[in-house]
Amino acid sequence: MTAPACLEFSGVDLEVCARAGLGDLARLRLTGPARRVLEGVNLKLYAGQRVALLGANGAGKTTLLRAAAGVLSPARGVVRVTGRVGWGVADDRAFHRRLTVRAHLALACALLDAPSHEVDRVAAACALASALDQPVEALSTGVRARAALARALVGAPEVLLLDEVERGLDSVGRAALAERLSTPAGGLVLFATHDAQLAALASHVLRVEAGRVAPEVL
């Protein structure tokens, strides 16, 4: 018997719309022109896999991860996710500059319905103990990236989605990330990267080109 997929995309087309302009509103349209970002994506990924998403800028890697995280719904097709999802993004969108790392992690625990003691666990996993009570605006880029990784690990997700979180990571953070990617774990890790060393840790590689996904042999 085949194990059920952790993450499945079936015939997924995904469009992102621009904000409606005056002309659109005059035609009673609530959006501007739509741009197709993913097209006909079929994927089945399973627990235990560590899958690297490779591709040029703008190819659709981030969009694919956003769809897997559930913040984008497909125009056509279905995205199915089994288990708790953790989503790590390297930019500042996950952060409120004046709040401490502890406050961010506690908020993530509350919003993801994870136990509060997860704060200490993920902070330890990402070597953040000394930065826990500092506001995000006081952190270096690398420590901030570690905090983003820690936020993604809250609740011990079965499906971990990482969007170029290696950007700005210092050696400690890279070691934590590499450990996460190289240790055989129960869950699925899907990560977008431009880093060849990290991609080499993947058990599978997918290449995204112009919104289409193709498997690539390592």
Give me the residues that bind other proteins (CB under 8 A), please.
15-17, 19-20, 30-31, 34, 37, 66, 69-73, 75, 85, 87, 89, 91-96, 98-99, 103, 106-108, 110-113, 135
CB of 30 to other proteins, least distance (A): 6
Q: Which is nearer to other proteins, 51 or 69 (CB)?
A: 69
Determine the Cα–Cα distance for residues 217 and 28; give it in Å rounded to an integer. Answer: 48
Q: Which residue has the tokens 């991609």?
A: 199
Question: Residue for token digits 């625990």?
Answer: 109
State the nearest-atom distance from the C-beta of 6 to other proteins, in Å: 16
| CB 211 to other proteins: min, Å | 13
CA distances from 208 to 51, 71, 98 (A): 12, 19, 36
Q: Which is nearer to other proteins, 5 or 94 (CB)?
A: 94
> Measured from the CB of residue 84, what is the shortest distance to other proteins in angstroms?
9
Our CB check for other proteins shows the closer of 3 and 71 to be 71
Complex with other proteins: residue 48 or 135, whichever CB lies closer: 135
**Phi, psi (rounded to 5 degrees) for 46:** -120, 160
Instruction: Give CA separation, 15 vs 55, 62, 78, 162, 164, in Å.
Output: 19, 13, 14, 21, 22
